[in-house]
A and B are shown apart, each in its own frame.
Chain A
Amino acid sequence: MSNETVIHSLPDTASTHDIEPDGHHGHHKESFITKYIFSQDHKMICKQFLITGMIWAIIGGLFSVLFRLQLGYPDQTFPFLEDFLGKWAKGGRIEPEFYYALVTMHGTILVFFVLTQGLSGTFANFLIPLQVGARDMASPFMNMLSYWFFFASSVVLLSSMFIETGPASGGWTSYPPLSALGDASLGSNTGMDLWLIGMALFVVSSLLGGLNYIATILNMRTKGMSMTRVPLTIWAIFFTAILGVLSFPVLLSGFILLLFDRHAGTSFYLSDIYIGSTFKALPNEGGSAILYQHLFWFLGHPEVYIIILPAMGLVSEVMSVNARKPIFGYMAMVGSLFAITVLAFLVWAHHMFVSGLNPFLGSVFVLLTLLIAVPSAIKVFNWLTTLWRGNLRFTPGMLFAIGFVSMFISGGLTGIFLGNSTIDLHLHDTYFVVAHFHIVMGVSAFFGMFAGIYHWFPKMFGRYLNNTMAYIHFWVTLAGAYLIFWPMHYEGLAGMPRRYYDFSPWVSFNNFQGLNRFISIVSIIVFAVQLLFVFNFFYSVFKGRKVKTQNPWGANTLEWTTPINPGHGNWVGEIPEVHRWAYDYGKEGREFVPQTEPVGANEQKH
């Protein structure tokens, strides 16, 4: 039966939601604008988030290649850089001011614009209504606003890169006084204001999205879909949304105070410090730069879980489907997500061990930080035991899911080093930290995102990604990520500080010059492979192999009960009722049992 017949074979029936199901040749004539631009369909908004996130990822990744050129080849010039960057790379060498701008933008873009809204925005929008059985988000209109606030914040941040004094360059954390004083650095002028405005818009976008995700998950589940039957993706997104809703407002408060310090002569963060460029003390009195660090890290730490939790959810789902086994320890998975969510709010000061924090307070934060190892380890063992004796299908999505676990273990172990304040005093702001968070948060979250994209691409676009390109993408990225970040541990242990423009004046770090060059070469190769993925993505959207069956992976969850190309409203006719959890794989001789199938009379409970 063709797609068209499936969609039109059943009459439209009343639904629990306002949106009438209509196939893609529905009764309402949709214009290009309402369908592709100001769309209120969660699936289109998901694609908008995904593609915006991909554009940001290319920009953010390219920036890292640019500053890796400087770090790998500090003594050489690249004339083509001057062609592109003009005065920022005079003579083909990146200016120090611009180096810091590149580092700052790389961090801001990848942490917030790619791995927060690019990841959460994409998969929360796509999977929540499809997996809980809803026609759309609770408020499709707010959902659309969430994307457009994200778009506006993207425009503001992008525009800051083209102004005369350059974009913000005080690091993605933007600590005052550096970020509060235009005299302190070029980037702390208009670029910093645009950064703050862009981030404020971003907070609004995240809030609108988060409220919608929470309300949809709680209120819009279809009949029979109790909270203990939802897939782990939904639990992960639910906790992510709660983290965002409760931590981003604190960041907003911190930013508002910073804006006043910059423009209204206030002393929230500034005190009578001496400024080298003007040979004078500031007129401010009584402010505390540490206050900003507290406000920032109250978001900043939950933020890393906002990044990693959705990836954990995606990996759990993809892994269970492709191991043809139930996820091991479903309730333990939910419980550990909950524990991580609670602990996320209680560990922020471990970023501030060297700020002059009272050592006793520090020891409390050490304890709470190390506690996170418990739920993290529960999750890791559950993934490993899910794989154990499974019928593994090595689809690209599955490979990335396994790669995620590998990365999460490697990066997580170094977190135990850094969580101890005594070791952190030595390792703080060295390449050891760079290695730790890139592996455990950056690369891991990317692997989770790739697992999700490879797995749900057929549902998003009705076509498959090319597998050959996918396998090249996976293996080069996996090997490359380790080759880039593993050596950084050695550099960090030797005391090599992060954020430095050029290490050649320090004789003690000269022996790392070859290693730095090696890291730079690998990062260029890995970046090129990501471009291969981007090519694969857009090529497959239009020319990929078509999906012929409704449930190509043999998965249990509800999204695979919709038509191959679902219209606005997702299901033709009634929303299916759910009778079991999402993980009945390999049960009583059957490979998989969809959630919509009633429990048999003699069937065992899972």
Chain B
Amino acid sequence: MATAVPVEQKWWSGGRSPFNVEYGKLMMWYFLMSDAFTFGAFLISYGTIRFSSNGWPDANHVFSSFPVLGSGYPLLFVSLMTFILIMSSVTMVLAVAAGHANDRAGVMKWMVWTIIGGLAFLSCQAWEWTHLYHEGAWWGSNPFTNFDGSKASTNFTNFFFTITGFHGFHVFSGVIINIVMLIMTYNGVFDRRGHYNMIEKAGLYWHFVDLVWVFVFTCFYLF
């Protein structure tokens, strides 16, 4: 059976990276592990408080509005948001692939699409927050009732705005990083270096932010 690594290759004996990656990518992976613990702590706190509460609002009822169309479309808008974010992950993959091929025009095209996807997601989030705010929802105030119609505690909105806000902040940082990467690509920085590793690292971060959204989405909208 053919193996990619020759038997003689000593990966751990020093003088080289044991994972065959440069230090930046290693740091990015460890950073993402660290950040996963931040989000993990938030979501576990959310679960703890929700589990110890008498009731909780119905997501289908709370998130049922769509711009222009009005209300009565449960989870339609958030599905659109999720679709946009996942598509931006697809375009990010294409940007990384173009980077592997040292194709500057391709990297730029797909980075532009990724940035547009990120901005679109943030705009959707801004609309949703504004809409909820006008319905009276904010940190410390919750107009929605529990499933059974009883009065709900404010922790539904408290956690919703804190956690989606923290995630939105990550998306925002990701957009900034992607814009910087786009400018560096445009200036030919990576061509001079001979590799597009930076795009790959930005891609790791971007996919992580998408992955976190899957968990946030599940916890707040589906359960």
List residues of chain A with CB within 8 A of the CB of B41: 249-250, 253-254, 295, 298
Contact of B49 among A210, A222, A291 (CB under 8 A): A291
Sample 6 A-B pairs with CB under 8 A, ordered by A number: A227-B12, A246-B37, A250-B41, A253-B42, A260-B162, A268-B49
Q: Are A285 and B153 within 8 A (Cβ)? A: yes
Q: Are B13 and A216 within 8 A (Cβ)? A: no
Is B149 in the interface zone, CB < 8 Å from A? no
Assuming the contacts A225-B14, A226-B12, asked whether A215 and B26 have C-beta atoms less than 8 A apart, the reply is yes
Q: Are B139 and A224 within 8 A (Cβ)? A: no
- Least distance between A149 CB and chain B CB atoms (Å): 15
Q: Are B38 and A253 within 8 A (Cβ)? A: yes
Q: Are B23 and A220 within 8 A (Cβ)? A: yes
Q: How far is the CA of A219 from the CA of B19 in the complex (A)?
A: 8
Q: How far is the CA of A253 from the CA of B22 in the complex (A)?
A: 30
Q: Are B140 and A268 within 8 A (Cβ)? A: no
- Least distance between A53 CB and chain B CB atoms (Å): 23
List residues of chain A with CB within 8 A of the CB of B79: none
Considering the complex, which residues of chain A in the window 233-252 have a beta carbon less than 8 Å from any beta carbon of chain B? 245-250, 252
Q: How far is the CA of A267 from the CA of B142 in the complex (A)?
A: 12
Q: How far is the CA of A74 from the CA of B208 in the complex (A)?
A: 57
Q: Are B162 and A257 within 8 A (Cβ)? A: yes
Q: Are A267 and B155 within 8 A (Cβ)? A: yes
Assuming the contacts A219-B23, A220-B23, asked whether A260 and B158 have C-beta atoms less than 8 A apart, the reply is yes
Considering the complex, which residues of chain B in the window 153-197 have a beta carbon less than 8 Å from any beta carbon of chain A? 153-155, 158-159, 162, 166
Q: Are A138 and B27 within 8 A (Cβ)? A: yes
Given contacts A223-B13, A250-B37, 5 further A-B contacts (CB under 8 A): A207-B31, A215-B27, A223-B15, A249-B35, A298-B41
Q: Are A245 and B15 within 8 A (Cβ)? A: no
Q: Are B155 and A245 within 8 A (Cβ)? A: no
Q: How far is the CA of A229 from the CA of B17 in the complex (A)?
A: 16
List residues of chain A with CB within 8 A of the CB of B155: 266-268, 286-287
List residues of chain B with CB within 8 A of the CB of A222: 14-15
Residue on A nearest B155 in the bound complex, by CB: A286
- Least distance between B156 CB and chain A CB atoms (Å): 9
Tally A-B pairs: CB < 8 A. Answer: 136
Q: Are A265 and B34 within 8 A (Cβ)? A: no
Is B123 in the interface zone, CB < 8 Å from A? no
Q: Are A224 and B13 within 8 A (Cβ)? A: yes
List residues of chain A with CB within 8 A of the CB of B158: 260, 264, 266-268
Is A212 in the interface zone, CB < 8 Å from B? yes
Residue on B nearest A228 in the bound complex, by CB: B12
List residues of chain A with CB within 8 A of the CB of B15: 16, 221-225, 577
Is B218 in the interface zone, CB < 8 Å from A? no
- Least distance between B10 CB and chain A CB atoms (Å): 8
List residues of chain B with CB within 8 A of the CB of A223: 13-15
Contact of B14 among A221, A249, A260, A284 (CB under 8 A): A221
- Least distance between A13 CB and chain B CB atoms (Å): 16
- Least distance between B42 CB and chain A CB atoms (Å): 5
Q: Are A250 and B23 within 8 A (Cβ)? A: no
Is A596 in the interface zone, CB < 8 Å from B? no
Considering the complex, which residues of chain A in the window 410-426 have a beta carbon less than 8 Å from any beta carbon of chain B? none
Is B72 in the interface zone, CB < 8 Å from A? no
Annotate A123-153 by CB proximity to B: 1 below 8 A, 0 otherwise.
0000000001100001100100000000000
Is A211 in the interface zone, CB < 8 Å from B? yes
Q: How large is the interface on B (under 10, 10 to 19, 20 to 34, 35 or more residues)?
A: 35 or more
Considering the complex, which residues of chain B in the window 121-159 have a beta carbon less than 8 Å from any beta carbon of chain A? 139-141, 153-155, 158-159
Q: How far is the CA of A192 from the CA of B195 in the complex (A)?
A: 47
Q: How far is the CA of A3 from the CA of B159 in the complex (A)?
A: 62
Q: Are B27 and A218 within 8 A (Cβ)? A: no
Q: Are A252 and B38 within 8 A (Cβ)? A: yes
Is A105 in the interface zone, CB < 8 Å from B? no
Q: Are A288 and B154 within 8 A (Cβ)? A: no
Residue on A nearest B153 in the bound complex, by CB: A286
List residues of chain B with CB within 8 A of the CB of A229: 14
List residues of chain A with CB within 8 A of the CB of B153: 267, 285-286
Is B45 in the interface zone, CB < 8 Å from A? yes
Q: Are B17 and A245 within 8 A (Cβ)? A: no
Assuming the contacts A245-B30, A246-B37, A295-B45, asked whether A266 and B154 have C-beta atoms less than 8 A apart, the reply is yes
**Max chain B Cβ within 10 angstroms of own Cβ: one of A223, A227, A245, A249:** A249
Assuming the contacts A264-B139, A267-B155, asked whether A288 and B49 have C-beta atoms less than 8 A apart, the reply is yes
Contact of A212 among B10, B12, B27 (CB under 8 A): B27
Q: How far is the CA of A215 from the CA of B23 in the complex (A)?
A: 6
Q: Are B33 and A246 within 8 A (Cβ)? A: yes
Q: Are B140 and A218 within 8 A (Cβ)? A: no
List residues of chain A with CB within 8 A of the CB of B23: 138-139, 215-216, 219-220
Contact of B34 among A133, A138, A226, A245 (CB under 8 A): A245
- Least distance between B24 CB and chain A CB atoms (Å): 8
Is B48 in the interface zone, CB < 8 Å from A? yes
List residues of chain A with CB within 8 A of the CB of B13: 223-226
Considering the complex, which residues of chain A in the window 426-466 have a beta carbon less than 8 Å from any beta carbon of chain B? none
Is A321 in the interface zone, CB < 8 Å from B? no
Q: Are B154 and A250 within 8 A (Cβ)? A: no
Q: Are B34 and A249 within 8 A (Cβ)? A: yes
Q: Are A266 and B140 within 8 A (Cβ)? A: yes
Q: How far is the CA of A215 from the CA of B27 in the complex (A)?
A: 6
Q: Are A578 and B162 within 8 A (Cβ)? A: no
Q: How far is the CA of A212 from the CA of B12 in the complex (A)?
A: 18
Q: How far is the CA of A216 from the CA of B14 in the complex (A)?
A: 11
Considering the complex, which residues of chain A in the window 184-237 have a beta carbon less than 8 Å from any beta carbon of chain B? 207, 210-212, 214-216, 218-227, 229
Is A19 in the interface zone, CB < 8 Å from B? no
Is B52 in the interface zone, CB < 8 Å from A? yes
- Least distance between B85 CB and chain A CB atoms (Å): 22
Contact of A285 among B27, B34, B154 (CB under 8 A): B154
